[in-house]
Amino acid sequence: MIEYKFIYHFPHQMQHIYPCWSLWRHFPNAKHVFLSRPRYHKDFVSGSAFTKGVQTVLKANNITTISVRMVDYIRWYRSNPSELLVAYTHRVDGFRAAHDDDMESLRRNTLTVFGMEQYIERYCGRAQARMSSHNQQDTSPISNADSVGDDASHHAPPSPPRIAIVNRGKTRQMFGMHNISSMLQHELELPYRPPVFFLEDTSFQQQVEAFSNVDILLSPHGAQLTLIPFMPPCSSVIEVIPHGYGHEAYFGTLAALSGVNHSFIYLGTDMAAETAEMDDREGQVAARNPPVCAPAFRMLQAIRIQYEQWHRCCRFDANTY
């Protein structure tokens, strides 16, 4: 039996790997294969720092990457007596997994591969976060030294949730985020200024670590949200969706699979109607490419809601320890 999938291109890379992980995990004795289209294979195997990091995780789990077209592979494999099991996904419908705990399994496995086991179990608010506010390129909102297993941090007064803003350098860049960060610090009386960071030109490992250290994330719609499964328990993501680009269920499905609370701010009035109007290719490009500017009061309101959600979730968790 072989579980496999093939890759289209980088932004949807993780979308293909997630359902495959479900099969690889639940059929441990099978031969695990990930197919990449020949035209994308070189970039996937030896391209960016991100894809190299993904390859590290696949290799650590004895998953083989093969450059071949899916139809050719199926044609070849049908001549063999073994059973072939395929994992499919859809670029628009969202994310899929076979079992409720598959994304948690991937999170724990990936953190272990990268030697970041300290992020697997986290006491809500127990570790004192040293948030970076001066470097917008910082991809790790909390220091590696803030280990949740440390006795001193375990007995320290609980700290507030770690709020961060991930922005984009090109399409759908959110304007004024450093001002929003200052506003959040003042309005929520935070002992730190929520960092604003970018993920372009960062490795997969750096991105995993960044998402592992955020409890409430504010982000525009985009491929960076494929890292949602690596957010810690009780976390939330607030997605800013451009006018006419109402695909809130896309990352909403991934958040649901990952046990992460998902909410969104739509920059329009009638999401269904406005998205339908922009449904052709030209309209989609026009909707998703421009910068986005969400009203400050709506972002503050959304974060306040998730702030309370985090408190409710963590009080429940605190009673279990």
Tell me the three-class secondary structure of 133-165, residue by residue. Answer: CCCCCCCCCCCCCCCCCCHHHHHCCCCCCCEEE
Residue 119, domain member (yes or no): no
Residue 8 belongs to some domain of the structure? yes
pLDDT of residue 206: 94
Q: Of 112, 145, 167, which marks where a domain is finished?
A: 112
pLDDT (0 to 100) of residue 238: 98
Residue 320's pLDDT is what?
A: 42
Q: What per-residue confidence (pLDDT) applies to 163?
A: 97
Residues with Cβ within 8 Å of residue 155, at least 6 apart in sequence: none
User: Do 205 and 186 touch, CB atoms closer than 8 A?
Assistant: no
Sole residue written with tokens 């994304």: 103
Show Cβ contacts of residue 320 under 8 Å, excluding neighbours closer than 6 positions: none
**Dihedral sign, CA of 300, 302, 304, 306?**
negative
C-alpha 303/C-alpha 284 separation (Å) is 28
Same domain, yes or no, for 83 and 135? no
- The CA-CA-CA angle for residues 241, 244, 250, to 5°, reads 50
pTM of the entire predicted model: 0.82
State the pLDDT at residue 75. 67
170 and 142, same structural domain?
Answer: yes
Instruction: Report how far residue 184's alpha carbon sits from residue 119's, in angstroms, rounded to the nearest whole number.
Output: 25
Q: What is the domain extent for residue 293?
A: 129-318
Low-confidence ranges of the chain (pLDDT < 50): 1-9, 128-139, 141-155, 317-321
